[in-house]
């Protein structure tokens, strides 16, 4: 399709995904196969497969693009290249998918350890050029910095979602007390102090794409400076192919501090509260169970 033809509007009105892709990349774009309400597959003029993503929340595209660039700058786990963006549209390379393999899992584990070791300026630090007011999935996530991980994790990752869940009626006030006790005891529960790690930030298995090139790729980050055990805990939360190989390779490269497996519920508390806010009571039960497990570890 020529660049002029790419300027057509979609049937519902407004700019089409492929027209937006042509505009923000400055290149001719063809195709335009809808994958979901927000995702469109297209092709750049040199044959490069593209993913065109529409972001309807203020700052979401800027946060994701900055996160992808920050993760890419580490030169560890591959991420799709950002081809262009504006406030509403993000255009990246599209990954040809394949099947997970033990070898790819081991490479991913080593790469993830190196990504974390690339570090961040502070706990809660946004990627360079990224907004403070960011997102994890469709939930707001504030990237405000803190001097130490326990206080920062309580103030900026656990309590905001607990308060919203209570306000929505998803968690009852009496139930919230167990999560508040975790926050009170965080300095003792957190384990040895570590420097801020460069986190993907939303590392569930759906954001690990197993490429046709035999490599695991990372997509859809909620990147920020945090504790590396948070990424590892989230990777365990919803399952991941060859997870034992991923974690074994990670441990060989950069062993977590002693007792890290007992701290998994503590680090899963944040994503479970996010899911409670987004998806309701079923995740509230899991979040409360994680809080009780963290206290008994």
Just list the catalytic residues.
202
Which DSSP string do the residues of 63-120 spell out, in sequence order?
A: HHHHHHHHHHHTTSS--PPEEEE-SSEEEEE-PPB----HHHHHHHHHHHHHHHHT--
The H-or-E segment that residue 270 falls in is helix 264-279
8 Å CB contact between 213 and 94? no
- For residue 292, give the nearest of 186, 182, 188 by alpha carbon: 182
- For residue 90, give the nearest of 142, 7, 16, 25 by alpha carbon: 25
The H-or-E segment that residue 50 falls in is strand 49-54
Rounded to the nearest 10°, the torsion over CA 194, 199, 204, 210 is -120
8 Å CB contact between 29 and 44? yes
Residue 291's CB: how many other CB atoms inside 10 A?
27
Half-sphere exposure of 133 (CA within 13 A, CB side): 3
Question: Could you tell me how far CA 210 lies from the centroid of its own chain?
Answer: 16
């Amino acid at each position: 399709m020529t660049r002029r033809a790419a300027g057509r509007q979609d049937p519902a009105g407004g700019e089409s995904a492929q027209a937006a892709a042509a505009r923000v990349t400055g290149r001719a774009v063809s195709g335009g196969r809808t994958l979901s309400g927000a995702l469109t597959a297209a092709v750049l003029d040199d044959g490069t497969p593209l993913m065109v993503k529409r972001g309807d929340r203020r700052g979401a595209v800027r946060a994701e693009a900055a996160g992808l660039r920050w993760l890419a700058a580490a030169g560890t786990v591959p991420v799709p290249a950002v081809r262009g963006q504006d406030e509403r549209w993000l255009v990246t390379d599209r990954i040809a998918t394949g099947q997970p393999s033990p070898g790819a899992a081991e490479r991913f584990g080593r790469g993830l350890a190196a990504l974390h070791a690339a570090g961040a300026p502070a706990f809660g630090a946004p990627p360079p050029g990224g907004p403070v007011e960011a997102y994890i999935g469709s939930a707001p996530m504030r990237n405000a910095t803190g001097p130490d991980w326990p206080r920062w994790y309580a103030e900026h990752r656990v309590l905001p979602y607990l308060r919203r869940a209570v306000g929505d009626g998803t968690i009852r006030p009496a139930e919230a007390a167990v999560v508040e006790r975790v926050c009170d005891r965080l300095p003792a529960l957190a384990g040895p102090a570590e420097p801020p790690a460069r986190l993907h930030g939303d590392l569930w298995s759906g954001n690990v794409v197993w490429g046709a090139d035999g490599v695991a790729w990372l997509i859809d980050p909620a990147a920020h400076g945090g504790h590396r055990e948070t990424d590892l805990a989230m990777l365990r939360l919803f399952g991941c192919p060859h997870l034992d190989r991923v974690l074994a390779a990670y441990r060989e490269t950069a062993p977590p501090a002693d007792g890290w497996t007992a701290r998994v519920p503590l680090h899963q508390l944040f994503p479970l509260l996010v899911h409670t806010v987004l998806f309701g009571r079923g995740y509230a039960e899991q979040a409360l169970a994680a809080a009780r497990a963290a206290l008994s570890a």
